[in-house]
Amino acid sequence: MSTYRDLALPRALGSARAVGAPIGSGRPTILRTVGTRERRSHLTAPRVPTVGIDIGGTKVMAGVVDADGNILEKVRTETPDKSKSPKVVEDTIVELVLDLSDRHDVHAVGIGAAGWVDADRNRVLFAPHLSWRNEPLRDRISGRLAVPVLVDNDANTAAWAEWRFGAGRGEDHLVMITLGTGIGGAILEDGQVKRGKFGVAGEFGHMQVVPGGHRCPCGNRGCWEQYSSGNALVREARELAAADSPVAYGIIEHVKGDIAEITGPMITELAREGDAMCIELLQDIGQWLGVGIANLAAALDPSCFVIGGGVSAADDLLIGPARDAFRRHLTGRGYRPEARIARAQLGPEAGMVGAADLARLVARRFRRANRRRVERYERYERYFESRRSEQESL
């Protein structure tokens, strides 16, 4: 099969126009995409390789993913500084796709962005770690690539990946919670990501669980992510260390007195080694996690909660207390079925894999449109050949 660099057809076709300038050293100009309407069922999506992009505050990761969720190749680079223009990040995305297309036949590109994406999955309304404000990311990227582009929130793409290939397989009502610096989330029902009227559903981290509690960067107080997230875990550890608490002596010694060096992965590592304070802190975070999950169960009644994100690496040190707290706070406990709580299986690649798989849903339209272009080109050839034959016979 040819790559999308081989798709340039004569100008007589009139179905695509060259746009954009070469990206990077010696990159060729490529064509505008043809249509990006989503195919609704993954069961009818073509089994073709697609590229998934996961954009975070510190890294941009891109990978070619096959129809079974296997990563064929992965590349990554640092996220350009957020003070730079949005085009700098867009240039990075295009460069990574072009790099992968040198070695793979790419049929569509999916982008998981850490921010609010509108219901049409075109504009990034707001990205806290990037300078995107109402940015038409899909149109800008698809205008520079000859394949369809799909944009979604990174928690949505991670949830899709876990539902298709990971801990949520076989579930028809799934809620994913991503525990990182804050808390993100996503809802899937009957094979559909529920994005809400305006596209920003799933911001579970900003549910208020403690009126008048810790101030949250969102501007409110007492948000769930202030009690059950990586930031909450590190904040509590640093406060105990700063107070020179006897229970914090182990971690103080570990960082040689430099409290600013305390991190979430370090706390998890020390907890696994038996540090009592770190174990207790993860239990506290887990208990708050269980309280929030019980609230979500009351509102959404899913069959499964999948817990992902960096903090979930603590595994049963975190999820065990969460399950206990969930059972204690679940409304109607003892008289209703309980949702399953599972740790995510796909790790930090989930968002990338999910973005690629969602992009596969729009690849069929591209393939059909490209086939129509080829057929139209062949008709032109037959027409001009017949005209030449007629002229030669005169």
Q: Which pLDDT value is given to residue 8? A: 36
Q: Which amino acid is at 375?
A: E
Residue for token digits 């038409």? 136
Question: Distance between CA 2 and CA 368 in Å, rounded?
Answer: 15
Residue range 10-26, pLDDT digits in tens = 333 333 333 333 334 44
Residue for token digits 């309280």? 291
Q: Which pLDDT value is given to residue 393? A: 73
Residue 287 has pLDDT above 90, yes or no: yes
Alpha helices in 125-229 (DSSP H): 137-142, 154-165
Q: Which amino acid is at 278?
A: C
Lowest mean pLDDT among 57-71, 77-91, 101-115: 77-91
350-363: average pLDDT: 91
Extract the tokens encoding 316: 């049963």
Q: Mean pLDDT across the chain, nearest whole number?
A: 82
Sheet with 59-65, strands from edge to edge, namely: 71-78, 59-65, 50-55, 109-113, 149-153
Q: Give the closest residue to 110 by CA, choosing from 356, 352, 349.
A: 356
Q: Which band of pLDDT confidence, cut at 50, 70 and 90, is reported for residue 291?
A: very high
Residue 236 has pLDDT above 90, yes or no: yes
Residue 371 has pLDDT above 80, yes or no: no
Q: Which band of pLDDT confidence, cut at 50, 70 and 90, is reported for residue 51?
A: very high
Q: Which pLDDT value is given to residue 232? A: 94
Residue range 179-198, pLDDT digits in tens = 988 898 999 998 889 988 88
Lowest mean pLDDT among 23-32, 112-121, 338-347: 23-32
Question: Distance between CA 142 and CA 39 in Å, rounded?
Answer: 17
Residue range 135-166, pLDDT digits in tens = 888 988 888 887 899 999 999 999 999 999 99
Question: Distance between CA 394 and CA 390 in Å, rounded?
Answer: 7
Question: Distance between CA 355 and CA 373 in Å, rounded?
Answer: 27
Q: pLDDT exceeding 90 applies to what percent of the chain?
A: 52
Residue range 306-321, pLDDT digits in tens = 999 888 888 899 999 9
Q: Give the closest residue to 205 by CA, choosing from 192, 188, 193, 217.
A: 217
274-295: average pLDDT: 95
Extract the tokens encoding 41: 């069922």
Extract the tokens encoding 82: 């957020």
Q: Which pLDDT value is given to residue 244? A: 92
